[in-house]
Chains A and B, each alone.
Chain A
């Protein structure tokens, strides 16, 4: 196990720069998730960490050693690929023992290592099968087993769950998290799924267009997103954004589209009349007499909660209620955002304005 330091790393393909100076400190034993939309450079960064891509500038160190010019096999890392990359002509046991075999380990050493990893992942009955004879989830576990056998300093996961069906994805998510709690190996995990990031990470790094938008624990990112991108990316359903300006009339307030009045706990200093974006999460709406009038468009009950799509000041917003209201399309309701939980962003830079 060891820490990983990514310092001001840049990556260009020809003249095209895909990573514009990324710095991420990763502590020993930490589970870090790199999350972002496709094309944000997260997978490239992971591949640079693995040594599959060159580093254009900046440094990556694993432990105390700068690994920029260290061969992949010398870096003491193990990677789980999106398509698992299992060797189709080898049995599960051979797949898992391949790295040990290449290292020149003795046969009983290899079989012990494989057996130990197979027990951790409940793969023992499958050791003589070929990858083709396994289900998606089993292949996924074999890919992890191959990583565990090597007992590396760092685990790298490249979108490992995206080829699985929804139910299995949730199960594997828990399994990976449990595995990390057990082995305590430093892990870097790439995904485009913010739910995966939220549920698994000790630390989330939100990336967008080759830069780090924000780094922090899942709840930090949820509670105080640093900018509008992170606010929109983290959370499901996504945060509602309403354009308007700060307009305090005695108490702090916000004037949304078509003059809708929305509450603010405190207005940022010297912000009177400033154009801004008002952000409120769907789960932070309540029905209140002093709320803003909205017309219900669609109601989607999921059992545990109900998603309500409504027109607020002409803009569509989504609200989520745990309690059961009897709504039907066309109904008028009064939606009130919880003033202590709303977010305010700069209209042009997208930066967070309130504390």
Chain B
């Protein structure tokens, strides 16, 4: 009895040392990592792996049906001396800059228009979205017919009006073909720009405009000094996306011209597809696709600086 009473009751009072595993279990970072795993796996399998594979392929001479060997930068050296590749680079830059600039202009104009109070506003907003909803290939086919060398409705109308005597060879002439694909891309891209800018316009408090009216601003001055500066963050986002989409465009071109005539509308994406899949030269096609990366990175860098929070957007700092 006495022994028991004296013996320290260690078993119950002692606190167990936390093991490394215990600490890990309660570590929010460790837990957070596991929550991220599904998303991470998705990104790795569907984005990082194809990208890595594409870059690897561009350093091999893989062809369809044959495992390639590592050839270093041979594919790139080839492309460096390939006039068609450089033509496609030129086409892509032309296509991207002209189409994006016009999409921005028309999109901003439409957004400002749709932000006004007018009858059937909701219906007009829905109508603007139509080109965006129609599948790209479908609208490309429609444009293919509109610009057809024999059955073009434009040629037909102009002939009926007596303005021309012969059909315009829209997709057969190099200049016309470029104009036509750019036009189709603009038609398709404007809704995205317009609706996103409209969303941005609606975040501008109406009382700012009222204050500006009382301050004596004309409608142009209200745009210039209130709307435009407040919209710049949204413009940066929209135009980054617009440039990225346009630069990597494939469907429209492929359905309308397949890069022709005489490669006048070949973009880097279509040329890559033609070399890799049609001609089977996977390595060379991958090299063309990989050559787009520096351009896209440059576009992202521009937008990254554009997206930096402006000084007036920052909170309670004292600088």
A binds B: yes
Name A residues whose Cβ lies closer than 8 Å to a Cβ of B: 50-52, 72-73, 77-79, 81-83, 85, 87-90, 98-99, 102-103, 130-133, 146, 150
> Whose C-beta in chain A lies nearest to the C-beta of B218?
A102
Cα–Cα, bound, A137→B317 (Å): 17
Is the beta-carbon distance between B213 and A102 smaller than 8 angstroms?
A: no
In residues 178-229 of chain B, which contact A (Cβ within 8 Å)? Answer: 205, 207-208, 210-217, 221, 225-226, 229
| B29 in the interface (beta carbon within 8 A) | no
Contacts of B315 in A (CB 8 A): 132-133
Q: Are B230 and A52 in contact (CB under 8 A)?
A: no
Instruction: Give the CA-CA distance A157 to B301 in the complex, in Å.
Output: 46
A73 x B215 contact (CB < 8 A):
yes
Tell me the minimal C-beta distance from A124 to chain B in angstroms: 16
B residues near A133, Cβ cutoff 8 Å = 314-318
A130 touches B311 (CB 8 A): yes
Distance A102 CA – B216 CA, assembled complex (angstroms): 7
Identify the 9 closest CB pairs spanning chains A and B, nearest first: A73-B216, A99-B215, A85-B211, A85-B207, A130-B312, A89-B312, A89-B229, A102-B216, A81-B207
A50→B312 contact, CB < 8 A? no
- Taking a contact as CB atoms under 8 Å apart, the answer to whether B229 and A73 are in contact is no
Residues 216 to 253 of chain B near chain A (Cβ within 8 Å): 216-217, 221, 225-226, 229-230
* A89-B214 contact given A81-B207, A133-B318, CB 8 Å threshold: no
How many residues of B are counted as interface, with CB atoms below 8 angstroms from the partner's CB atoms?
Answer: 25
User: In the complex the two chains form, is A85's CB within 8 Å of B312's CB?
Assistant: no
Q: When the two chains form their complex, are residues B310 and A89 in contact, meaning their CB atoms are under 8 A apart?
A: yes
* Docked-complex contact A83 and B207, CB < 8 angstroms: yes
In whole angstroms, what is the CA distance A51 to B215 when docked?
A: 12
Q: Taking A85-B210, A88-B230 as contacts, is the C-beta distance between A132 and B314 under 8 angstroms?
A: yes
Of listed A50, A77, A83, A132, residue having the most chain B CB within 10 A: A132
A sample of 6 more A-B contacts (CB under 8 A), given A85-B207, A102-B221, A130-B311, is A51-B214, A77-B214, A81-B207, A87-B212, A89-B230, A98-B217
Min C-beta distance of B223 to chain A, whole Å: 13
A130, B210: Cα distance in complex, Å: 20
A78 and B318 alpha carbons, distance in the complex (Å) = 30
Of all chain B residues, the one with the shortest Cβ separation from A103 is: B216
Question: B313 an interface residue at 8 Å Cβ cutoff?
Answer: yes
Interchain CA distance A82-B207 in the complex, whole Å: 9
Q: How far is the CB of B227 from chain A (nearest CB, A)?
A: 11
Instruction: Tell me the complex Cα distance, A88–B215, Å.
Output: 15
Which residues of B are at the interface with A, using a C-beta cutoff of 8 A? Answer: 205, 207-208, 210-217, 221, 225-226, 229-230, 310-318
What chain A residues lie within 8 Å of B310 (beta carbons)?
89
**B205, A85: Cβ atoms under 8 Å?**
yes
B211 to chain A: closest CB distance in Å? 4
Contacts of B208 in A (CB 8 A): 85, 87
12 residue pairs of the A-B complex, CB under 8 angstroms, read A52-B210, A73-B217, A81-B211, A83-B207, A87-B226, A88-B230, A89-B310, A98-B215, A99-B216, A133-B315, A133-B318, A146-B215
Name the B residues within 8 Å of A132 (CB-CB): 312-316
Give CA–CA (A146, B217) in the complex, Å: 14
- With contacts A88-B230, A133-B315 taken as known, whether A102 is within 8 angstroms of B214 at the C-beta atoms is no
CB distance from B45 to the nearest CB of A (A): 42
- Give Cα A132 to B317, complex, Å: 9
Q: Which residues of A contact B230 (CB under 8 A)?
A: 88-89
Bound together, the chains give a CA A52 to CA B209 distance in angstroms of 10
CA distance A89 to B204 in the complex (A): 12
Query: When chains A and B are docked, how far (Å) is the Cα of A82 from the Cα of B205?
Result: 12
Q: Would you give the shortest CB distance from B216 to chain A, in whole angstroms?
A: 4
Distance of A314 Cα from B303 Cα, bound (Å): 72
A81 to B318, CA, bound (A): 26
Contact B226 A50 (CB under 8 A): no
The minimal Cβ–Cβ distance linking A46 to chain B, given in whole angstroms, is 12
Residues on the A chain within 8 Å of B212, using CB: 87, 98
**Whole-angstrom distance between the Cβ of A142 and the nearest chain B Cβ:** 12
In whole angstroms, what is the CA distance A130 to B319 when docked?
A: 10
A131 to B310 Cα, complex, angstroms? 13
CB proximity of B286 to chain A, nearest CB, Å: 45
Distance of B69 from chain A, by nearest CB (Å): 58
B217 vs chain A, min Cβ distance (A): 5
Q: Which residues of A contact B215 (CB under 8 A)?
A: 73, 98-99, 102, 146, 150
Q: Report the Cα distance A73→B207, complex, angstroms.
A: 15
**A143 closest partner in B (C-beta):** B211
CB pair A83 B205 closer than 8 Å: yes
Residues on B with C-beta less than 8 A from A82 are 207
CB of B312 within 8 A of CB of A78, answer: no
Distance between A330 CB and nearest chain B CB, rounded to angstroms: 52
Q: With the chains together, A227 CA to B226 CA distance in Å?
A: 47
Q: Are B312 and A88 in touch, CB under 8 angstroms?
A: yes
Pick from B207, B213, B215, B318 the residue with the most CB of A within 10 Å: B215
Of the residues B213, B314, B318, contact of A52 by C-beta under 8 Å: B213
Q: How far is the CA of A103 from the CA of B318 in the complex (A)?
A: 31
Complex partner residue of B210 from A78, A81, A90, A103, CB under 8 angstroms: A81
